[in-house]
Protein backbone atom coordinates (compact mmCIF):
# COMPACT_ATOMS: atom_id res chain seq x y z
CA UNK A 1 0.00 0.00 0.00
CA UNK A 2 3.00 2.25 0.31
CA UNK A 3 5.11 1.14 -2.61
CA UNK A 4 2.20 1.98 -4.83
CA UNK A 5 3.20 5.61 -4.52
CA UNK A 6 5.64 5.14 -7.36
CA UNK A 7 3.30 3.67 -9.91
CA UNK A 8 0.09 5.40 -9.08
CA UNK A 9 -3.10 4.88 -11.00
CA UNK A 10 -4.37 8.02 -12.66
CA UNK A 11 -7.95 6.93 -12.25
CA UNK A 12 -8.03 8.42 -8.79
CA UNK A 13 -10.98 10.54 -7.99
CA UNK A 14 -10.27 13.92 -9.54
CA UNK A 15 -6.78 12.93 -10.59
CA UNK A 16 -5.43 12.85 -7.04
CA UNK A 17 -6.98 15.98 -5.71
CA UNK A 18 -5.61 15.44 -2.22
CA UNK A 19 -2.16 14.71 -3.51
CA UNK A 20 -2.12 17.87 -5.60
CA UNK A 21 -3.40 20.02 -2.77
CA UNK A 22 -0.67 18.69 -0.49
CA UNK A 23 1.95 19.34 -3.15
CA UNK A 24 1.04 22.97 -3.73
CA UNK A 25 0.54 23.76 -0.07
CA UNK A 26 3.81 22.06 0.79
CA UNK A 27 5.73 24.14 -1.76
CA UNK A 28 4.37 27.34 -0.26
CA UNK A 29 4.90 26.35 3.36
CA UNK A 30 8.39 25.00 2.74
CA UNK A 31 9.28 28.23 0.95
CA UNK A 32 7.96 30.26 3.87
CA UNK A 33 9.67 28.44 6.72
CA UNK A 34 12.33 26.19 5.24
CA UNK A 35 12.53 22.43 5.48
CA UNK A 36 13.49 22.05 9.12
CA UNK A 37 11.08 24.64 10.49
CA UNK A 38 7.97 23.49 8.65
CA UNK A 39 6.05 20.67 10.26
CA UNK A 40 3.94 18.11 8.53
CA UNK A 41 1.10 19.35 10.71
CA UNK A 42 1.40 22.85 9.22
CA UNK A 43 1.10 21.52 5.70
CA UNK A 44 -1.79 19.18 6.43
CA UNK A 45 -3.59 21.84 8.40
CA UNK A 46 -3.41 24.39 5.59
CA UNK A 47 -4.16 21.81 2.93
CA UNK A 48 -7.08 20.53 5.00
CA UNK A 49 -6.03 16.91 4.77
CA UNK A 50 -5.39 14.34 7.44
CA UNK A 51 -1.98 14.22 9.09
CA UNK A 52 -1.27 10.74 7.79
CA UNK A 53 -1.89 11.78 4.20
CA UNK A 54 1.67 12.98 3.73
CA UNK A 55 3.16 9.63 4.61
CA UNK A 56 0.50 7.80 2.67
CA UNK A 57 0.94 9.74 -0.57
CA UNK A 58 4.60 10.68 -0.43
CA UNK A 59 6.24 8.29 2.01
CA UNK A 60 7.55 10.98 4.33
CA UNK A 61 8.39 14.62 4.83
CA UNK A 62 11.64 14.50 2.90
CA UNK A 63 10.17 12.87 -0.19
CA UNK A 64 7.36 15.39 -0.13
CA UNK A 65 9.92 18.18 0.02
CA UNK A 66 11.68 17.02 -3.11
CA UNK A 67 8.41 16.51 -4.97
CA UNK A 68 7.19 19.92 -3.90
CA UNK A 69 10.33 21.59 -5.25
CA UNK A 70 9.94 19.82 -8.59
CA UNK A 71 6.30 20.84 -8.72
CA UNK A 72 7.04 24.50 -7.99
CA UNK A 73 9.85 24.56 -10.53
CA UNK A 74 7.64 23.05 -13.22
CA UNK A 75 4.99 25.64 -12.51
CA UNK A 76 7.43 28.58 -12.51
CA UNK A 77 9.07 27.53 -15.79
CA UNK A 78 5.66 27.01 -17.37
CA UNK A 79 4.76 30.59 -16.55
CA UNK A 80 8.12 32.06 -17.50
CA UNK A 81 10.23 29.98 -19.87
CA UNK A 82 13.89 30.79 -20.26
CA UNK A 83 13.55 33.11 -23.23
CA UNK A 84 10.19 34.51 -22.26
CA UNK A 85 8.88 36.90 -24.95
CA UNK A 86 12.00 36.88 -27.08
CA UNK A 87 11.80 37.14 -30.85
CA UNK A 88 13.58 34.57 -32.97
CA UNK A 89 16.49 36.53 -34.40
CA UNK A 90 17.18 38.84 -31.50
CA UNK A 91 20.64 40.23 -30.84
CA UNK A 92 22.69 39.32 -27.77
CA UNK A 93 21.67 42.42 -25.84
CA UNK A 94 18.00 41.59 -26.29
CA UNK A 95 18.76 38.02 -25.34
CA UNK A 96 20.40 39.22 -22.16
CA UNK A 97 17.45 41.42 -21.39
CA UNK A 98 15.01 38.56 -21.87
CA UNK A 99 17.16 36.30 -19.72
CA UNK A 100 17.23 38.77 -16.86
CA UNK A 101 13.54 39.61 -17.06
CA UNK A 102 12.33 36.04 -17.21
CA UNK A 103 14.63 35.10 -14.34
CA UNK A 104 13.28 37.86 -12.14
CA UNK A 105 9.68 36.99 -12.99
CA UNK A 106 10.22 33.28 -12.49
CA UNK A 107 11.79 33.69 -9.06
CA UNK A 108 9.52 36.50 -7.90
CA UNK A 109 7.34 36.09 -4.85
CA UNK A 110 4.15 35.81 -6.90
CA UNK A 111 2.23 33.05 -5.16
CA UNK A 112 1.47 31.42 -8.49
CA UNK A 113 5.16 30.52 -8.67
CA UNK A 114 4.56 28.40 -5.56
CA UNK A 115 7.56 29.92 -3.82
CA UNK A 116 10.01 28.54 -6.37
CA UNK A 117 12.54 31.35 -5.99
CA UNK A 118 12.58 31.11 -2.23
CA UNK A 119 12.91 27.35 -2.40
CA UNK A 120 16.00 27.71 -4.59
CA UNK A 121 17.44 30.30 -2.24
CA UNK A 122 16.88 28.15 0.81
CA UNK A 123 18.41 25.18 -0.93
CA UNK A 124 21.51 27.24 -1.70
CA UNK A 125 21.84 28.24 1.95
CA UNK A 126 21.04 24.79 3.36
CA UNK A 127 21.96 22.35 0.60
CA UNK A 128 20.35 18.94 0.54
CA UNK A 129 20.25 16.39 -2.23
CA UNK A 130 17.58 18.62 -3.79
CA UNK A 131 20.28 21.12 -4.72
CA UNK A 132 22.11 18.55 -6.82
CA UNK A 133 18.79 17.67 -8.39
CA UNK A 134 18.22 21.32 -9.28
CA UNK A 135 21.73 21.75 -10.66
CA UNK A 136 21.33 18.74 -12.90
CA UNK A 137 17.83 19.59 -14.01
CA UNK A 138 18.07 23.24 -14.91
CA UNK A 139 20.54 25.53 -13.20
CA UNK A 140 23.59 24.33 -15.10
CA UNK A 141 22.09 24.71 -18.57
CA UNK A 142 20.73 28.08 -17.50
CA UNK A 143 24.20 29.25 -16.56
CA UNK A 144 25.66 27.95 -19.81
CA UNK A 145 23.00 29.80 -21.75
CA UNK A 146 23.89 33.04 -20.02
CA UNK A 147 27.59 32.41 -20.53
CA UNK A 148 26.92 32.00 -24.25
CA UNK A 149 25.23 35.39 -24.42
CA UNK A 150 28.04 37.01 -22.50
CA UNK A 151 30.63 35.42 -24.75
CA UNK A 152 28.95 36.90 -27.78
CA UNK A 153 28.69 40.30 -26.12
CA UNK A 154 32.39 40.23 -25.36
CA UNK A 155 33.07 39.70 -29.05
CA UNK A 156 33.57 35.96 -28.86
CA UNK A 157 36.71 36.47 -26.86
CA UNK A 158 38.43 33.23 -26.00
CA UNK A 159 39.17 34.36 -22.45
CA UNK A 160 37.04 31.90 -20.51
CA UNK A 161 37.74 33.53 -17.17
CA UNK A 162 36.49 36.89 -18.36
CA UNK A 163 33.28 35.29 -19.55
CA UNK A 164 32.95 33.62 -16.18
CA UNK A 165 33.47 36.84 -14.27
CA UNK A 166 30.88 38.75 -16.24
CA UNK A 167 28.40 35.88 -16.06
CA UNK A 168 28.79 35.71 -12.33
CA UNK A 169 28.34 39.45 -11.91
CA UNK A 170 25.12 39.38 -13.91
CA UNK A 171 23.75 36.42 -12.01
CA UNK A 172 24.56 38.08 -8.73
CA UNK A 173 22.57 41.17 -9.66
CA UNK A 174 19.55 38.97 -10.33
CA UNK A 175 19.96 36.86 -7.22
CA UNK A 176 20.12 39.78 -4.83
CA UNK A 177 16.40 40.28 -5.25
CA UNK A 178 15.97 36.82 -3.86
CA UNK A 179 18.44 37.02 -1.04
CA UNK A 180 17.99 40.49 0.33
CA UNK A 181 14.25 40.70 0.06
CA UNK A 182 14.07 40.84 3.84
CA UNK A 183 16.51 43.74 4.05
CA UNK A 184 14.84 45.62 1.21
CA UNK A 185 11.46 45.20 2.84
CA UNK A 186 12.83 46.80 5.95
CA UNK A 187 14.59 49.66 4.14
CA UNK A 188 11.83 50.43 1.64
CA UNK A 189 8.59 48.70 2.63
CA UNK A 190 6.69 50.52 -0.11
CA UNK A 191 8.32 48.43 -2.82
CA UNK A 192 6.04 45.64 -3.92
CA UNK A 193 8.16 44.05 -6.68
CA UNK A 194 5.23 43.50 -8.98
CA UNK A 195 5.85 42.73 -12.68
CA UNK A 196 6.11 46.47 -13.46
CA UNK A 197 8.80 46.96 -10.83
CA UNK A 198 10.65 43.91 -12.13
CA UNK A 199 10.53 45.33 -15.63
CA UNK A 200 12.27 48.48 -14.42
CA UNK A 201 14.77 46.46 -12.38
CA UNK A 202 15.67 44.27 -15.34
CA UNK A 203 16.36 47.45 -17.30
CA UNK A 204 18.66 48.65 -14.53
CA UNK A 205 20.56 45.38 -14.38
CA UNK A 206 20.85 45.38 -18.15
CA UNK A 207 22.18 48.94 -18.17
CA UNK A 208 24.80 48.31 -15.51
CA UNK A 209 25.91 45.04 -17.06
CA UNK A 210 26.06 46.28 -20.64
CA UNK A 211 28.16 49.28 -19.65
CA UNK A 212 30.54 46.98 -17.82
CA UNK A 213 30.76 44.43 -20.61
CA UNK A 214 31.29 47.06 -23.28
CA UNK A 215 33.97 48.70 -21.21
CA UNK A 216 35.72 45.38 -20.74
CA UNK A 217 35.30 44.44 -24.40
CA UNK A 218 36.77 47.77 -25.44
CA UNK A 219 39.88 47.11 -23.36
CA UNK A 220 40.02 43.64 -24.79
CA UNK A 221 40.16 44.84 -28.37
CA UNK A 222 42.82 47.35 -27.52
CA UNK A 223 41.34 50.74 -28.10
CA UNK A 224 43.35 52.71 -25.59
CA UNK A 225 41.45 55.91 -26.32
CA UNK A 226 37.74 55.99 -25.64
CA UNK A 227 37.94 52.92 -23.44
CA UNK A 228 38.47 53.87 -19.80
CA UNK A 229 38.62 57.34 -18.36
CA UNK A 230 42.01 57.44 -16.67
Partner DNA sequence: TTGCAATTCAAACAAATGTTTGATACAAAC
Partner DNA sequence: GTTTGTATCAAACATTTGTTTGAATTGCAA
- Within 10 angstroms of residue 151's Cβ, the number of other Cβ atoms is 19
Query: Which among 109, 112, 118, 175 is positioned nearest to 142, based on CA atoms?
Result: 175
Q: Which long-range contacts (CB under 8 A, 24 or more apart) does 77-81 make?
A: 77/106, 77/138, 79/105, 79/106, 79/112, 79/113, 80/105, 80/106
Which of the stretches 3-11, 86-94, 143-151, 213-221 binds DNA when contact is defined by CB under 7 A?
A: 3-11
By CB under 7 A, residue 87 contacts DNA: no
By CB under 8 A, residue 100 contacts a copy of itself: no
133, 135, 142, 157: which one contacts a copy of itself (CB under 8 A)?
A: 135
32, 45, 50, 183: which one contacts DNA (CB under 7 A)?
A: 50
- Least spacing, CB of residue 135 vs DNA, in Å: 24
By CB under 8 A, residue 211 contacts a copy of itself: yes
d(CA 49, CA 45): 7
* 20 touches, from DNA, a copy of itself, none (C-beta below 5 to 8 Å by class): none
**CB-based contact 182:193 (threshold 8 Å):** no
Which of the stretches 15-23, 95-103, 174-182, 212-220 binds DNA when contact is defined by CB under 7 A?
A: 15-23
By CB under 7 A, residue 27 contacts DNA: no
Amino acid sequence: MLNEVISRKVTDHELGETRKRILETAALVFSEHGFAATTVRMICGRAKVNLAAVNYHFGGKESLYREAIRHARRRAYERFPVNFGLSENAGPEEQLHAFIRSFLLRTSGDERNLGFGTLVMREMVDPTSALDMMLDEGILTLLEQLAGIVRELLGNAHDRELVLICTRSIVSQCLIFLFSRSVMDRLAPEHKFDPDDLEGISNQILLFSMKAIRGIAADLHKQPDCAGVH
